[in-house]
Amino acid sequence: MKTLDQYNFAGKKALIRVDYNVPLDNNFQVTDDTRLQATIPTINKIRKDGGAVILMSHLGRPKSGPSEEFSLKHLIKYLDDTFKTQVKFADDCIGEEANKLAAALKPGDILLLENLRFYKEEEKGDVEFARKLSQLGDVYVNDAFGTAHRAHASTAVIAQFFPEKVCGYVMQAELDNAKKVLERADRLLHRYYGRGQNFR
């Protein structure tokens, strides 16, 4: 998987798995924007290259399909203000409207899809659901480290439909940190138990 800096998104529609599972108050206002802020560099890089951005995420744990409480539409104003643009919103993550909005995107545009978990197929890792999602973009970007270990449709399964896969800045930072921890552990083991052995 390429890193973000190894890829030029000019003319591409980047389908990005982000983690926008953020807390909302009773008025559906974001009370902690840490996860939203973390994705800004990735989105800015793609837009600066001349690419369009399609954001997909889950929010909460909806039990039986769409619900107002867990709609990602509550994040639109925050994203509008952050990126100084009118963020488009598809009230479904697959289907005719999502396909139409994605197809019409121009360089620099941002499209937010509705909550992936409004479909049970997301958490089940359904291949057909992943295929439908994949049709929205040209290149897949995973920038949701917190969900990357799950075999969900929008993470592990969807990647098979993209010849071009890219690691976002959030994901890259976590992978770099994990590598440093492993290397530090190796050095400690060698210090206490001798050299010339590989302990991983």
Q: What is the pLDDT of residue 176?
A: 55
Q: What is the DSSP string of 54-100?
A: EEE---S--SSS--GGG-GGGGHHHHHHHHTS--EEESSSSSHHHHH
pLDDT > 80? residue 175: no
Confidence of residue 2 (pLDDT cuts 50, 70, 90): confident
pLDDT > 70? residue 163: yes
pLDDT > 60? residue 183: no
Name the nearest CA neighbour of 74 among 93, 87, 61. 87
Q: What is the DSSP letter of 168?
A: -
Name the nearest CA neighbour of 92 among 136, 53, 126. 136
Q: Model pTM?
A: 0.86
Dump pLDDT digits (tens) for 29-69: 999 999 999 999 999 999 999 999 999 999 999 988 899 99
More confident residue, 150 or 199: 150
Is-contact 144 174, C-beta < 8 A? no
- CATH code linked to domain 2-171: 3.40.50.1260
Mean pLDDT of 4-16: 96
Q: What is the DSSP letter of 4?
A: G
Q: Please state whether 85 falls in left (phi above 0), alpha (psi between -120 and 50) or beta.
A: beta
Mean pLDDT of 3-27: 96
| First CA to last CA distance, the chain | 22
Tell me the residue type at 159. A
The count of other CB atoms within 10 Å of the CB of residue 27 is 6
Mean pLDDT of 131-148: 89
Instruction: Give percent helix, percent strand, percent coil of the chain, each to the nearest 5.
Output: 45, 15, 40
Mean pLDDT of 114-124: 96
Mean pLDDT of 71-82: 97
Between CA 168 and CA 145 the distance in angstroms is 9
Among positive and negative, which fits the CA dihedral 157, 158, 163, 164? Answer: negative
Q: What is the pLDDT of residue 64?
A: 84
Place of tokens 């270990």: 149
Name the nearest CA neighbour of 119 among 100, 98, 104, 149. 98
Is-contact 179 54, C-beta < 8 A? no
Phi and psi for 93 in degrees, rounded to 5?
-90, -15
